[in-house]
Amino acid sequence: MVASGEWIAADWIAVYWGPTHMRAWAVGPEGRVLAEVESEAGTLSLTPDRFEPALLDCVLDWLDLTRVTDVFVCGMAGARQGWAETPYVTVPAPPRGGLPLVEPAVADDGISVHILPGMRQDDPPDVMRGEETLMAGLIAREPDFDGVVCLPGTHTKWVHISAGEVVSFATFMTGEVFGLLSTSSVLHYTMDEGGWSEPDFDAAVEESLSFPEQVARKLFGIRAEALLRGLSAAASRARLSGLLVGLEIAASKPYWLGRDIVLVGESPLAGAYARALGLSGLTPRRDDPTDLVIAGLDAARKDLIAARGRGEAG
């Protein structure tokens, strides 16, 4: 694999466009990743006319000037405030649900851009853009998978998959709540950016699992113990995380109870979720988000190739 900046000819290009970052991969024969790049040009920083230049800044060295290169995009580029709004597929349904890909107009005749749809759930209301493509990748690799997928993040998703469909999903703002409490509440006096205490995390998770109704009180207890007993910043941070993640694990029980669990990610956050699930007696298997998103975008690419072969619109 090479870094961006060295010329290579990609067979096609995969893009995951998030609110704060964009990641792109040059994909070669048989789905092999030839190069990758990450940019801070997230959707929140771009107007619709700036998406194409931001993309080309990252992938220009991957284009074969003798042909058009297909670029498959998932994530917030398809949001109302993104590059071009794509519709939502309503669950239960397969990812993409048979909807056509949205192709925004581009000035560069060396690329053809295809943006994937998101998914919506009407009752209870919920939406996702980007995660559905990871689910498509999992289904493409494991057509018979029946279980639940946990995708830790700022807004963690729990997704139930069965018979090749996304049956239902639930979003928890655990990561965002942690960020707000640790930086903008009275608890910020007790936190720092570094340090961690696994015993404190474990104890907080178990407290949330056993007594979720006590969490609001125990949150202030972090501040009080720091003042009166010198609770360290590392222990405070771990306790806050444990209380919130434990609360989520308790609330998501209808998803994971009695089902196989796939935990997506190798980050410290994913590790914290794995540890919390372990305290609940669960052993999730881990999967790589990059592998899943590329597999999901590749499934969309193959569908488009098949549609072209039938003479249908993309």
Name the residue range of residue 7's domain.
Answer: 2-130+291-309
Name the residue among 276, 151, 111 with its Cα closest to residue 208: 276
Q: What is the pLDDT at residue 178?
A: 96
The number of folded domains in the chain is 2
Q: What is the pLDDT of residues 245-260, one digit of tens each?
A: 999 999 999 999 999 9
Which tops the pLDDT comparison, 237 or 1?
Answer: 237
Which tops the pLDDT comparison, 22 or 31?
Answer: 22
Strands 111-115 and 69-75: parallel
Q: Are residues 258 and 300 in the same domain?
A: no
User: Would residue 138 count as lying in a domain?
Assistant: no
Which CATH number does the domain housing residue 264 bear? 3.30.420.310
Q: Is the pLDDT of residue 86 over 90?
A: yes
Could you give the C-alpha distances from 234 to 176, 200, 216, in angstroms and in order? 19, 9, 20
User: Would residue 185 count as lying in a domain?
Assistant: yes
Q: Is the pLDDT of residue 311 over 90?
A: no
For the chain, what is the mean pLDDT? 94
Which CATH number does the domain housing residue 75 bear? 3.30.420.300
Whether residue 140 contacts residue 295, with contact meaning beta carbons closer than 8 Å, is answered with yes
Please give the angle made by the CA atoms of 292, 295 and 301, to the nearest 5 degrees: 145
Q: What is the pLDDT at residue 313?
A: 58
Q: How confident is the model at residue 1 (pLDDT cuts 50, 70, 90)?
A: very low
Q: How confident is the model at residue 65 (pLDDT cuts 50, 70, 90)?
A: confident
| CB atoms inside a 10 Å sphere around CB 301 | 20
The two tokens of residue 195 are 């340090």
Q: Are residues 6 and 93 in the same domain?
A: yes
User: Would residue 73 count as lying in a domain?
Assistant: yes
Q: What is the pLDDT at residue 6?
A: 66
Q: Are residues 216 and 245 in the same domain?
A: yes
User: Would residue 152 count as lying in a domain?
Assistant: no
User: Would residue 121 count as lying in a domain?
Assistant: yes
Name the residue among 30, 122, 24, 29 with its Cα closest to residue 75: 24
Q: How far apart are CA 127 and CA 155, in angstroms?
A: 11
Q: What is the pLDDT of residues 159-197, one digit of tens each?
A: 999 999 999 999 999 999 999 999 999 999 998 767 899
Q: Are residues 245 and 295 in the same domain?
A: no
Q: What is the pLDDT at residue 8?
A: 87
Q: Are residues 23 and 74 in the same domain?
A: yes
Whether residue 147 contacts residue 133, with contact meaning beta carbons closer than 8 Å, is answered with no
Q: Are residues 108 and 184 in the same domain?
A: no
Backbone CA torsion sign across 49, 15, 137, 156: negative
Q: What is the pLDDT of residues 213-245, one digit of tens each?
A: 999 999 999 999 999 999 999 999 999 999 999
Q: What is the pLDDT of residues 268-293, one digit of tens each?
A: 999 999 999 999 999 999 999 999 99
Which tops the pLDDT comparison, 91 or 5?
Answer: 91
When pLDDT is averaged across residues 3-32 and rounded to a whole number, the result is: 88
Q: Is the pLDDT of residue 7 over 80?
A: no
Q: Are residues 7 and 125 in the same domain?
A: yes
Backbone CA torsion sign across 50, 55, 60, 64: negative
Q: What is the pLDDT at residue 26?
A: 97
Q: What is the pLDDT of residues 89-133, one digit of tens each?
A: 999 999 999 899 999 999 999 999 999 999 999 999 999 999 999
Whether residue 201 contacts residue 242, with contact meaning beta carbons closer than 8 Å, is answered with yes
* Residue the block writes with tokens 């995390």: 201
